[in-house]
Amino acid sequence: MPEEDLVELKFRLYDGSDIGPFRYSPASTVAMLKERIVAEWPKDKKFAPKGTNDIKLINAGKILENDKTVGQCRAPFDDLPRVAITMHVVVQPSVTKTKTAEKKVDEAPQKNLCSCSIL
């Protein structure tokens, strides 16, 4: 693939730091980008994804779907100079972890804190 066809992407984390920039083929999928983000995630960050399902990528205000390609997600700004496109990374724990935590709270014995008095 010719060098000029590659798309340069960087990934902005929650604290304003970046991963990248890296060059990708327009045929690369969003799932492939997420795998790279997990592999390159800085070890000193407080929040870290456990896997690709914990990451949401946002470009031009839209959450990107795993099966879409970089070429499909790119905003049509052909007249702008070639610079790295910044995608925002949101770390969100998977739903199964959240449900497990909710069950533990629900299973705890509840104390009745209110009482009634009839006068």
Which CATH number does the domain housing residue 45 bear? 3.10.20.90
Residue type, 78: D
pLDDT at position 4 over 60: yes
Residue 62 belongs to a domain: yes
pLDDT tens track for 27-70 = 999 999 999 999 999 988 888 888 889 999 998 888 999 999 98
Residue 44 belongs to a domain: yes
Grade residue 12 by pLDDT with cuts at 50, 70 and 90. Answer: very high
pLDDT at 79: 47
∠ CA 51-56-60, nearest 5°, is 150
pLDDT at position 115 over 80: no
Residue 10 belongs to a domain: yes
Domain count, the chain: 1
Residue 108 belongs to a domain: no
Residue 86 belongs to a domain: yes
- The helix, strand and coil proportions of the chain, stated in percent and rounded to the nearest 5, come to 30, 25, 45
Higher per-residue pLDDT: 109 or 97: 109
pTM score above 0.75: no
Average pLDDT over the chain, rounded to an integer = 77
pLDDT at 45: 85
Residue 41 belongs to a domain: yes
pLDDT at 73: 78
Instruction: Please give the structure tokens belonging to residue 73.
Output: 């997600």
Q: How far apart are CA 12 and CA 104, in angstroms?
A: 34
Q: How far apart are CA 29 and CA 72, in angstroms?
A: 9
